[in-house]
Amino acid sequence: AGKFYQYAPTETSQATLASVSPVFAVMKFDKEGNTTCFDKKKTELYQELGLQARDLRFQHVMSIATRNNRIIMRMEFLKAVITPEFLLILDYRNSSLEHWLLNELAPQLAGEGQLVTYSLPFEFRAIEAILQYWISKLQGRLNTLQPQILETLEALVDPKLSSVDRSKLHILLQNGKSLSELETDVKVFKETILEILDEEEVIEELCLSKWTDLQVFEESMSGIDHAEEMELLLENYYRQAEDLLNEARELRVLIDDSESIIFINLDSHRNVMMRLNLQLTMGTFSVSLFGLMGVAFGMNLESSLEEDPRIFWLVTGIMFLGSGLMWRRLLSFLGRHLDPPLPPHVPAVLKKSQPAAGRVEIKTNLKGETFGLSRSTLTNQ
């Protein structure tokens, strides 16, 4: 029971580790746009590419890195490895991604698309195609959310409504959550590109053909610097991400402002109901107070007043008149304490219209002179 046994690894255990190695579904694109699909184990793939196993460890993060003259791009579910001769898309079996790969990416890499880098080396076209796909995907998400949010806000922000539709609020909550996720994705995309723009050495390393093709290197030395082209390419998509993030922020501000308007409308309706309740309470108090006279005359007590037929109309008139006067008095008290105060009185001198030349002179003096001199100029005017 107190002995320990140590087992040495056998060929069977090693074979088991090799058999559980992940297998990538790979789609390969060359410079002419030809496509090849195949499955390959991770160990075989990184050995052929001259990479390490950690280089092909793709998480749902966003990054662009270079290893051994290879560009590794991680765009969440989009995993790509770029070389000067071909582009590899790993784990491409995704409905929307597969449609883009087959119908758009291959023509773009062959120079038939609308990429501005068709005259540059292959890695430029590959990077631009992937960045364009990702920014268009983010833009599509915003274009889907924006009309839904605007329609929901238009239905909620209505001063005539005394209550809020809970179904609309639920839709607005879901759209707000989707908008927050979009803002996070755009911000991560922008920060990823910004990290590369801040590192000049990384931009140089992204130009793969510059270090492998002698002709490309000579062209860059003669004045066509591909590092500057790469910086302009990344900066272009950085600006697009910035514009997209600003649109999302404006939509977020619109939601916040609309929520404030909704709360103001609800508070306004609530105040109206509370004021009406208070007025009815004061009316009930007034009637009850002067109704004590009727209660006194309704008691089973004998007096000489009940024999006079005019006493009934006199007491009734006093009750209604007294109740009305007291109610008006209470309403006047309520109005003085609840209604907003009047704006301050504006002197008649300031209300007079000044001629155009006088206004221009005042503005000029206010901008060009000191406070004391401007004050004297205003006094003279």
pLDDT band at 234 (very low <50, low <70, confident <90, very high): very high
Query: Would you state the pLDDT for residue 248?
Result: 92
In this structure, the chain runs to a length of: 381
Q: Of 20-34, 49-63, 134-148, 263-277, where does the model show the most confidence? A: 134-148
- pTM equals 0.66
Query: Would you state the pLDDT for residue 142?
Result: 93
Residues 109, 32: Cα–Cα separation, whole Å: 7
Task: Write out the two tokens for 366.
Answer: 């206010």
Give yes or no for residue 368 having a pLDDT over 60: no
* Whether the domain at 21-114 and the domain at 117-296 fall into the same CATH topology: no
Residues 146, 223: Cα–Cα separation, whole Å: 45
The H-or-E segment that residue 70 falls in is strand 70-75
Residues 192, 186: Cα–Cα separation, whole Å: 10
What value does the mean pLDDT of the chain take? 76
| Domain limits, the chain | 21-114, 117-296
Backbone dihedral angles phi then psi of residue 86, each to the nearest 5 degrees: -155, 170
Residues 91, 89: Cα–Cα separation, whole Å: 7
Residues 88, 346: Cα–Cα separation, whole Å: 75
Tell me the CATH number for domain 21-114. 2.40.128.330
With contact defined as beta carbons under 8 Å apart, do 95 and 77 qualify? no
CATH architecture under which domain 117-296 falls: Up-down Bundle (1.20)
